[in-house]
Amino acid sequence: MFQGLQFEPVSLPDHAEALRSEVREFIERELPPDYLRNSDFNTGVSAEFSQKLGAKGWIGMTWPKEYGGHGRSFLERYVVTEELLAAGAPVFAHWIADRQSGAQLLKFGTEQQRQTYLPRIARGECYFSIGMSEPDSGSDLASIRTSATRVEGGWLVNGSKIWSSGAHQNHFMITLVRTEPPSANRHAGMSQFMIDLKSPNITIQGIKNLSGESDFNQVFFDDVFVPDEMVIGEPGNGWEQVVSELGYERSGPERFLSAFRVMVEFVREVGDNPTEAQVALIGRLTAHLITLRRMSVSVAAMLESGKTPVTEAALIKELGNSYERMVPELIRQLVPGRTSLRFRQTLEECILHAPSFTLRGGTREILRGVIARGLGLR
């Protein structure tokens, strides 16, 4: 039975706000003035920037110190992530490792895996890809066919993953594979492997997206050997693990800030002399954004208190994605006559990326299904 929604009001503690100023100063110092800022987390890649963030202690913030983490709260982590996104900083190199792969290792990995990889991730040196989707398995993730067969000391992987963001530049991919043939229980018999993307017998082919960048790939596995020590968690437990991973993937501020720089540049363009329609649109978009942000802070607080906000994460992603798709569409109607090159580039980049907002990390339709389950409808 439907029990109501669970977004508790939360305000950020003072120490989180103090951290905010520190992050702002850091970003202003580090980003070159002519850098074209993009608040879509999937865009800018800079290993150098990621390492500097690592040195500041802003990667793996919530992990225990013994694994190179910083024992800080999810609310503090929230502040750092939203500041980086809002400023349009190049964060993609370490983003997935920090957001979800590290969390997977912490939760399901062996002691040896944690000790080996978490400190490297936290230093901003070790980057991960997500290996879920396949050419014939998108939303229906349980239908994957990439398989692994048992061999001496490990497994041999065959098959292919697709849309693997950053696989051409990242070090590892947490890969969902079938370790047993499909059975009546569709969710049984899967496992997560941490695959070194530089292993022999792996081919990585870039795929161009609408803006012409090849930031995702198809990855082919032809008898790729994965040693036992690279299995994450128990073989067969892959589905449960992947569901847990999606919780981290869906709830953050990257799900409503992708178009934020378009708003900033629009405000710059209209300057001191906006039309009434421009003022009203800026007001409307701001009202949505403030509200989404409050919801996201609530989710961060739930994570902090050890809850798994599955429905809430889906809800904020769905609402946030719709919002970030609406931003460029509404702004383009009210663009002033003369605009700067920077504005046009920012807007066009956003329009070209926008179709991905409601696909990546679970489509709009899949999220609505998750919310409907939370409402008790299915």
Structure tokens at 222: 């032809």
Name the residue with tokens 């502040």.
79
Name which position in 74, 117, 216, 239 contacts ligand FAD (CB under 6 A): 216
CB nearer to another protein: give 88 or 90.
88
Structure tokens at 115: 């000790």
Spatial CA neighbour of 290 closest among 91, 90, 82: 82
Distance CA 28, CA 272 (A): 24
- From another protein, ligand FAD, none, interface partner of 280 (C-beta below 5 to 8 A by class): another protein
What is the distance between the terminal CA atoms of the chain, rounded to a whole angstrom? 11
DSSP secondary structure, 186-197, as one string:
TTSSEEEEEEET
CB nearer to another protein: give 154 or 274.
274
Name which position in 23, 75, 80, 87 contacts another protein (CB under 8 A): 87
Spatial CA neighbour of 193 closest among 234, 159, 162, 153: 234
352's torsion region: left (phi>0), alpha (psi -120 to 50) or beta?
Answer: alpha
| Residue 86 interacts with another protein (CB under 8 A): yes or no | yes
Would you tell me how many other CB atoms lie within 10 Å of the CB of residue 209? 17
- Whether residue 93 contacts residue 39, with contact meaning beta carbons closer than 8 Å, is answered with no
Residues 135-194 that bind ligand FAD (CB under 6 A): 138-139, 163-165
Part in contact with ligand FAD (CB under 6 A); list of ranges 128-136, 289-297, 343-351, 370-378: 128-136
Structure tokens at 137: 């398995």
- From another protein, ligand FAD, none, interface partner of 129 (C-beta below 5 to 8 A by class): ligand FAD
Name which position in 81, 133, 146, 258 contacts ligand FAD (CB under 6 A): 133
Name which position in 39, 101, 113, 129 contacts ligand FAD (CB under 6 A): 129
Name the residue with tokens 């003072």.
14
Part in contact with another protein (CB under 8 A); list of ranges 140-148, 169-177, 312-320, 324-332: 312-320
| Residue 130 interacts with ligand FAD (CB under 6 A): yes or no | yes
CB nearer to ligand FAD: give 151 or 372.
372
Kind and range of the H or E run holding 79: helix 74-86
Instruction: Kindly list the residues in this chain that would bind another protein in the complex (CB under 8 A).
Output: 2, 4-5, 7, 9, 11, 20, 82, 86-87, 260, 263-265, 267-268, 270, 272, 274, 276, 278-284, 286-295, 298, 312, 315, 318-319, 322, 365, 367-369, 371-372, 374-378
Instruction: Kindly list the residues in this chain that would bind ligand FAD in the complex (CB under 6 A).
Output: 42, 129-133, 138-139, 163-165, 216, 356, 359-360, 362-363, 365-366
